[in-house]
C-alpha cells in the first residue's frame, strides 16, 4: 500500500497549482481520501476529503472556495487544485487514506511522504 504525492513547488501569491497523489496496493475507489498539510514548524491541518466515488467532498474553512479536491479512480489518482494561493498556504501537503472500507468517518491509516508547496513573491 503506497501513496506518492507530486506537483509541489514555488508559486507566487494569487497563483494556482495542482497536486497529485498516486495510490497503489489497495482498491482505490473504495476509500475516502484526504489531504492534510503542515506548515513549517507547525502542526497538522486537515485540508480536504473526498468520498470513494468522488461525489461527496469536504473542505476546511481555510481553503473553502479556493481549493478543489477530485479523484480519477481509473488512474488511482487523487488531486488538489489550489487557486488564489496565499503565503499562509505554504506547507508540506500529505495525501492520506481513510482507514475504513467505504466509510468516510475514520482516521487516516496510510500517508504519503508529502510534497512541498511554497507560496512566495
Residues in contact with other proteins by the rule CB under 8 A: 34, 36, 43-46, 49, 58-61, 94, 99, 104-109, 111-114
Considering the complex, what minimum distance in angstroms separates the CB of residue 46 from other proteins? 5
Complex with other proteins: residue 18 or 113, whichever CB lies closer:
113
- Assign 101 to helix, strand or coil: coil
Length of the chain: 121
Write down the residue that cell numbers 503542515 correspond to: 38
Complex with other proteins: residue 36 or 80, whichever CB lies closer:
36
Considering the complex, what minimum distance in angstroms separates the CB of residue 41 from other proteins? 11
Considering the complex, what minimum distance in angstroms separates the CB of residue 48 from other proteins? 9
CB 82 within 8 A of CB 60: no
Considering the complex, what minimum distance in angstroms separates the CB of residue 30 from other proteins? 18
Complex with other proteins: residue 37 or 77, whichever CB lies closer:
37
CA distances from 76 to 4, 43, 53, 70, 90 (A): 11, 28, 12, 11, 26
CA 102 to chain centre: 18
Amino acid at each position: 500500500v503506497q501513496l506518492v504525492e507530486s506537483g509541489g513547488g514555488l508559486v507566487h501569491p494569487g497563483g494556482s497549482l495542482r497536486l497529485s497523489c498516486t495510490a497503489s496496493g489497495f482498491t482505490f475507489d473504495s476509500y475516502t481520501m484526504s489531504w492534510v498539510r503542515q506548515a513549517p514548524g507547525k502542526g497538522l491541518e486537515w485540508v480536504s476529503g473526498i468520498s470513494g466515488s468522488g461525489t461527496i467532498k469536504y473542505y476546511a474553512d481555510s481553503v473553502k472556495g479556493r481549493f478543489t479536491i477530485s479523484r480519477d479512480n481509473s488512474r488511482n489518482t487523487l488531486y488538489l487544485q489550489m487557486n488564489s494561493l496565499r503565503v499562509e498556504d505554504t506547507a508540506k501537503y500529505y495525501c492520506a487514506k481513510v482507514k475504513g472500507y467505504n466509510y468516510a468517518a475514520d482516521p487516516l491509516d496510510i500517508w504519503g511522504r508529502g510534497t512541498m508547496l511554497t507560496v512566495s513573491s
